[in-house]
Amino acid sequence: MKALLKLTGLVVLMVAVGTLAACAKEVPPVVEPPPPPPVEEPPPPPPPPPPPPAREFEEAEPVVDVLTIGQINEEGILQTIYFDYDESEVRADQRAKLQANAQFLRDNDHFRLVVAGHCDERGTREYNMALGERRASATMQYLVSLGVPASRIDIISYGEENPAATESNEAAWAQNRRAQFQAIDSNDR
């Protein structure tokens, strides 16, 4: 019996040690993170409004702001250009004026144009008539090079006959060496 008691004591001791060991190694409970908040989806956009009921429209004529021949000439829309003494070549400082004139002519094709060449009083009448014609021709050619149809342009020379300034000095002569523009009706020739 002693052996049995020893054996029982040993078993009890082992159970006690096992229980203590189990208590000592108690694993803390696993704490799970809280679930993410639910994602709220935005509400769907409202449906587009229905199209307006179909109506019949009459096609309106476009509004065109057309200047009259008189307005073009009276308001000086086409700018006069000036030449050097005894020259018919278009000066570099006058080309921007011709470019603006050409743009206006391309945008407004309802009229024709007369380019008039003028001279100062120096030189013979015949010489000035020829020089005025060369100035008008050079001006016309420059406009044609910028896309204005030659068929819309006529030239004329007044020589020294229609001066812009009547004094006999360099300032007046500079005003008289010019090419002027006159709009005319398409039927005028």
d(Cα 113, Cα 25) in Å, to the nearest integer?
Answer: 112
pLDDT for the residue numbered 185: 85
pLDDT for the residue numbered 174: 97
- What stretches in the chain show pLDDT beneath 50? 62-63
DSSP string, 99-137: HHHHHHHHH--SEEEEEEEE--S-S-HHHHHHHHHHHHH
DSSP string, 40-108: PPPPPPPPPPPPPPP---PPPPPP--PPPHHHHHHTT-SPPEE--TT--SPPGGGHHHHHHHHHHHHH-
| Entry pTM | 0.65
Model confidence pLDDT, tens digit, residues 142-159: 999 999 999 999 999 999
Model confidence pLDDT, tens digit, residues 96-113: 999 999 999 999 998 999
Q: Look at residues 129, 95, 136 and name the one whose alpha carbon lies nearest to residue 114.
A: 136
Q: At what angle do helices 95-107 and 125-145 cross, to 10 degrees?
A: 60
pLDDT for the residue numbered 63: 46
